[in-house]
Amino acid sequence: MTTSSIITVENLKRHFVLDRGNFLTRRKPVNLHAVDGVTLDIQPGEAVGLVGESGCGKSTLARVLCRLIDSTSGRILFEGRDITDMSASAFAGSQMRSDIQMVFQDPTESLNPLFNVFDLIADPCRRLKPQKNRAALRAKVEAAAVSVNLPLEFLTRFPHQLSGGQKARVGIARAMVVDPRLLVLDEPTAALDVSVQATVLQLLGSLRRDKGVALLFVSHDLNVVRLLCSRIVVMYLGQVVESGPTDHLFHAPQHPYTHALLSAIPTLGSGARRDRIKLDGDPQSPVNPSADKCRFAGRCPLQQELCTRQAPVLSRTGSGREVRCHFPLAEPGAPK
């Protein structure tokens, strides 16, 4: 972590209280550990991919980072400044709100059907970056539309008149109009066809290159993340289990879960793969998880006795890599 980071989180937790418990009857509280001790930092202009299966806490982490919901514990630093104790509403009123913008998964649900595209894009600008006059606002909105390759005649249309790909662009334009330094994208292409997804991915690649905006790209599709991100963070049941530079992680995964995830991706023209690692069975529950065993135990193909009585910690394994495993996989060719 350096002070040049846009955002840094340390040991961040977000628990959802399902039952507060009762001290008198000794009923234990029931907490769902959606995000359970995540440390992460994002440098200016960097593209970080966040992957993991559904329910592992990706969206919750993204929302906490954007200060849309509060954390349970841990520290959040914005450009080195501790904003952990700043309330969500104080944050919403500050300059920082426009520096971190979020793009949601479902473009249909996140766009108000009563607004036309101009007003949809102008809305965050009016709230966060009021312009001197209408002409200045129009210029800002048009620049945002151009930056996402949305023809200007679309500005007068309504969401129901747009295709899925066009709606996704409007969602990104809404975020870009306030000149953010970090875009947090929660599965922005999950609902799109591959050919439309291709245009959105290209757009995000260009925005990063041309405007220097940093990306936190949340996805369950490692192939998509591979194209866009230089660093990948893999989550499992609320925790980071592995992180590292994209190439290294792809070619030599160290956590058995990352390995399984990679081997499960269908690949064009490969024919059915034989070396696939199957994860049969369901993951452990995120409700009151045991502190004394690995969260991947029970599904891990390489599990040993130690894994069921001691939880592994996240440790550095060199070259910007971290892994949370008692028995990480060796780099191919490296001595055991």
Partner 1 sequence: MSVPLLSVRDLTVDFATRDGTVHVLDGVNFELAAGETLGIVGESGSGKSVTAFAIMGILDHAARVLSGDIRFEGRDVRAMYPRERDLWRGKEASIIFQNPRTALNPIRSVGRQIADVVSRHTPGSSSEIRESVLGAMRQVRIPDPERRMSSYPFELSGGLCQRIGIAAALACHPRLLIADEPTTGLDVTTQAVIMDMIRDIARQGNLGTVLITHDLALASEYCDRILVMHAGHVVETAPVKDLFANPRHPYTYGLLNSVPSMVDSVHDLRAIPGSLPDLRRADLPPCRFAERCPRRIPACDAPGLTLKEAGPSHAVACRNPL
**Could you say which of 22, 87, 223, 285 contacts partner 1 (CB under 8 A)?**
223
Q: Report the residue from 59, 147, 254, 258 that binds Mg ion according to the rule CB under 5 A.
A: 59
From 87-95, 109-117, 268-276, 312-320, give the range in contact with partner 1 by CB under 8 A: 268-276
Closest CA to 252 of 194, 162, 328: 328
- Per DSSP, the three-state class of 74 is strand
Q: Is 168 in the site for partner 1 (CB under 8 A)?
A: no
Residue 73 or 223: the one with the smaller Cβ distance to partner 1 is 223
CB of 232 vs Mg ion, minimal distance in Å: 17
Positions touching ligand ADP (CB under 6 A) are: 16, 32, 34, 52, 54-60, 286
Distance CA 127, CA 35 (A): 30
Is the separation of the CB atoms in 199 and 165 below 8 Å?
yes
Cα-based distances in Å from 186 to 120, 221, 272, 303 = 19, 12, 30, 32
**CA separation for the pair 321, 86 (Å, rounded):** 31
For residues 192 and 168, the answer to whether their CB atoms sit within 8 Å is yes
Query: What does 204 interact with, of ligand ADP, Mg ion, partner 1, none (CB < 5 to 8 A by kind)?
Result: partner 1
Contact window for Mg ion (CB under 5 A) among 16-24, 58-66, 145-153, 292-300: 58-66
How far is Cα 77 from Cα 12, in angstroms, rounded to an integer? 11
20 vs 278, beta carbon nearer partner 1? 278
CB of 18 to ligand ADP, least distance (A): 7
Closest distance to partner 1 from the beta carbon of 257 (Å): 9
Q: 29 or 80, CB closer to ligand ADP?
A: 29
Over the range 182-213, which residues count as b (16 or more CB within 10 Å of their CB) and which as e?
bbbbbbbbebbeeebbebbbebbeebbeeeeb
Per CB under 8 A, 151 contacts partner 1: no
Q: Does 54 bind partner 1 (CB under 8 A)?
A: yes
The three-class DSSP label of residue 13 is strand
What is the contact surface with Mg ion in residues (CB under 5 A)?
Answer: 59
Residues of this chain that interact with partner 1 (CB under 8 A) are: 53-54, 163, 165, 193-199, 201-202, 204-205, 220-224, 226-228, 260-261, 263-273, 276, 278-282
